Amino acid sequence: MTVYSFPTSESMSKSFQNFEQNVLGKEKFLFLGSAKWCGHCQQLKGAWADMKSQLGGNKTKFNIVEFDDTAMQHLQKNHANHPVTNLIAQAVRGYPTVAIVNKANHKNQVEFKVFEGARDASSLVAFAKSHA
């Protein structure tokens, strides 16, 4: 499992260079859009951490991308021309947003499947595994 969190301690532009190199080429990844000021996001933190633990380390094929609201604003402003970033920017309507982003088997189309289940670790794990 690989986890990409944005922004990182790097500058925003360097962080997004890493995003373009390491994430946009992936066929599928689990996405979390959150905000530090969001109470629901803070409540999700424990379940999200448990989910990552349950999905395992490098032996799993999950790629996880975590964006905070600052990164989302940067994404919308500076990277909207890429089909994946454009879809993410349009699809995130509130926080937290958990989704599977899938480019596999779609000609020039990207699927953004939003998680709508209970915000607990077992539900998040089941959602991720159902889209593995």
Dump pLDDT digits (tens) for 15-70. Answer: 666 666 666 666 788 889 898 899 999 999 999 999 988 887 655 667 888 888 88
Q: How many residues does the chain have?
A: 132
Segment 98-112, tens digit of pLDDT: 998 887 655 556 778
Segment 21-32, tens digit of pLDDT: 666 666 788 889
Distances (CA, A) of 111 to 10, 14, 35, 49, 62: 29, 27, 23, 25, 16
**Torsional sign, CA 76, 63, 111, 21:** positive
Residue indicated by tokens 């530090």: 36
Segment 71-125, tens digit of pLDDT: 777 777 777 777 777 777 777 888 999 998 887 655 556 778 899 999 999 999 9
Any long-range contacts for 74-78 (C-beta under 8 Å, 24+ apart)? 74/7, 74/12, 74/16, 75/16, 78/16
Residue indicated by tokens 């607990």: 120
Residue 104: its pLDDT value, please?
A: 60
Residue 70: its pLDDT value, please?
A: 80
Cβ atoms of 131 and 111 closer than 8 Å = no
CATH class of 2-130: alpha beta
Q: Domain map of the chain by residue range? A: 2-130
**Who wins on pLDDT, 10 or 90?**
90
